[in-house]
Structure 1
């Protein structure tokens, strides 16, 4: 019973005895308890039959006070029940101790599918992949003298990348200062982009991997020796420096400020090259020519030995792209963007674009998994490393065969084919010869398509 009501009731009892001392509610002696006359005083009706008005006044006031106390008790308990269901998780739910309890005691009490599903909802990947990342980054994080545990820091950054949260939002959730969240995010993404890049983003130069990749593309497109597909995608920036001229250079063809991401993907939608070096206002061809991969391919630094003969032409492994890229010996593009070529050329274009679709899907998966890339809320100086870090995480997910979300699709691109540079003329001539040979061979093998 409510304590305030008990106090009021006690006060009323004293008041009642004062107003009508001839009536008592409790027996004064043990013998009176067994006496019929005494027992009659203890019944509710005895109070009403009293000659004094005090008992009736007592019961009236007591009833009113009881109703008020009951109403106050219900009113005070109702908001607490409501608030418990509507308030967001408190910062204590994201404390180090809560994370430790969740990642040790709780997580291992679940069956693996439920455990990994819960982990993906929080951090974008399964628990085994998470532990792999932590194990690889822990020695590097330890050198920073970070006051937080390594796995907790990685979990915080993955949560931000996965859900696209701002540093301020993460800071409030984890009870940290926003500057510390930004500092930890920059550290972890830098380590992912530098220390793990070479291990998980590799050009397929080994013969075994190269053959596996070209065979898979041939099953998809009927075109031999294709080893990858290239494409560019603008990564939207939430904020830019206030300099108007500076900002204009970053406006992409779709009208928003961005930086340009260039990737090459294999048949499994795994990136084997990533480049983020251009503002969103650049075109794909210029970005490609400024990339390390372009210089490695044109200089002969990357040599693919799996050479085949197609209609008298020696065809080395090649990548494919749309008409926004230059036609070169190692990069084949469509004959026409609108299907005005010969039947053989149109057939070739259709198969080439089918092969290119893997990189479109890979970029869509990347942006769907790591939602921060849909509206990048880090400083411009840290944008490239954040994007590359997400690409490394994407590859880890693909290698581990993590479930694939519904890919996000960029708008269709239009634009003229790029001009061929003087230094590229011989490469372009060879690319034209190889492309025509492949088209004629494909049309001969698949004439009904």
Structure 2
């Protein structure tokens, strides 16, 4: 991600700007950011980078951004942009496809060794725990099943699979999909797994993820490094999780330090879900679900890397509903010993 372009660096100065005849041309910078959740320069950057995939991208990008930022339905978007609802939907999907192809490799990718080393140093400053390269968290993204039922062609059958998993903090019957992500110390996504049914546990999502597969097959080498996970994830040789029932001072100390790292991911998800409110109730076709979730993560990184701070009032309050790991026999014995050593070390430093 170090090579990703920033707004104003080698981009056209007036993409979608004066002369394009768009209704947002006369918006002040403040109103523009309120509408599209990013500054005009970042909007221009996205349009400029997608020119190779989209003809006249400004209107299409605007439709897509309004859709993910405000959850505006396609009927209302059609009125705003002088088009049909289906045309708006197709344009939104086209922009998401283009972002996935062009911008995802630049803005959301696994760090190289230089960036991994920097991550470990930054996380060490945050927590005192050595060799941490990422912080993992999982959120529910509510599904608007009524929208799918009213249009059988978009059905997410069987609906029961997407019922939220039961927990002490999640007592209402609802449908959702899951988004699991790993962030760096700055809250930028470096990996994500999206689209699993809300009935699945965190460890279920993990073991089905590309990250788990790549680490276990050696394609992604995390030897001597940690990703910090939640209590819903198993303790692995590369995944450090808190003690489920801490009893000793070292165990409590380590958990406190882990929670500091977890907070980085939770804050990132709070900004993600607040900026892109489509993640507060999503109603896309099943084949577009994974694409939409991933594009929101990419757009999050683009905004954060370009200094587009989110309005604090938009931040979304996350509700934890973590359960202990549901899959037996995943916990690593060597990781248990390593976690104990880290706990003893941190306790000795206090």
User: What's the TM-score, normalizing by structure 1?
Assistant: 0.67
The residue that corresponds to 1:297 in the other structure is 215
1:268 to 186, 192, 201: 186
The residue that corresponds to 1:401 in the other structure is 307
The residue that corresponds to 1:154 in the other structure is 61
1:444 CA drift (Å): 0.5
Higher relative contact order (CA 8 A, sep 6+): 2
The answer on 1:136 being equivalent to 2:54 is no
1:118 CA drift (Å): 2.8
CA contact (8 A) 1:238 1:376 kept: yes
Distance 1:105 1:132, change over 3 A: closer
Q: How does 1:45-84 map to 2 (within 5 A)?
A: none
1:419 to 289, 308, 327: 327
Aligned CA-pair RMSD: 2.3
1:301 CA drift (Å): 1.0
The answer on 1:174 being equivalent to 2:92 is no
How many residues of Structure 1 are paired with residues of Structure 2 in the alignment? 321
Q: How does 1:240-279 map to 2 (within 5 A)?
A: 240-241=148-149, 246-253=158-165, 254=170, 255-279=173-197
The answer on 1:318 being equivalent to 2:226 is yes
Q: Measure the CA separation in 2 of the matches of 1:347 and 1:224.
A: 14
1:298 CA drift (Å): 1.1
Q: Indicate the SS of the match to 1:273.
A: strand
User: What's the TM-score, normalizing by structure 2?
Assistant: 0.85
The residue that corresponds to 2:248 in the other structure is 342
1:382 CA drift (Å): 0.9
Could you list the per-position Cα deviations for residues 299-351 of structure 1 after superposition, in whole angstroms to 9, with x for gaps in the alignment?
Answer: 1111257xxxxxxxxxx1111111110110100111125xx421100110111
1:247 CA drift (Å): 0.7
Q: Measure the CA separation in 2 of the matches of 1:215 and 1:412.
A: 28
Q: Measure the CA separation in 2 of the matches of 1:408 and 1:105.
A: 29
Distance 1:396 1:97, change over 3 A: closer
Unaligned runs of 5+ in 1: 1-95, 108-113, 143-148, 306-315
The answer on 1:285 being equivalent to 2:198 is no
1:420 CA drift (Å): 3.8
CA contact (8 A) 1:277 1:291 kept: no
Q: Indicate the SS of the match to 1:195.
A: helix
The residue that corresponds to 1:89 in the other structure is none
Q: How does 1:7-156 map to 2 (within 5 A)?
A: 100-101=20-21, 106=26, 115=29, 117-142=30-55, 149-156=56-63
Distance 1:244 1:401, change over 3 A: closer
Q: Indicate the SS of the match to 1:228.
A: strand
Q: Measure the CA separation in 2 of the matches of 1:122 and 1:355.
A: 32
CA contact (8 A) 1:276 1:388 kept: yes
Q: Measure the CA separation in 2 of the matches of 1:120 and 1:260.
A: 28
The answer on 1:443 being equivalent to 2:350 is no
Q: Measure the CA separation in 2 of the matches of 1:262 and 1:343.
A: 31
1:277 CA drift (Å): 3.7
Q: Measure the CA separation in 2 of the matches of 1:123 and 1:431.
A: 45
Unaligned runs of 5+ in 2: 1-15
Could you list the per-position Cα deviations for residues 139-198 of structure 1 after superposition, in whole angstroms to 9, with x for gaps in the alignment?
Answer: 1113xxxxxx31111112111211110111111222210010111111111222233211
1:186 to 84, 93, 108: 93
1:98 CA drift (Å): 9.2
CA contact (8 A) 1:193 1:386 kept: no
1:418 CA drift (Å): 3.1
Q: Indicate the SS of the match to 1:141.
A: coil
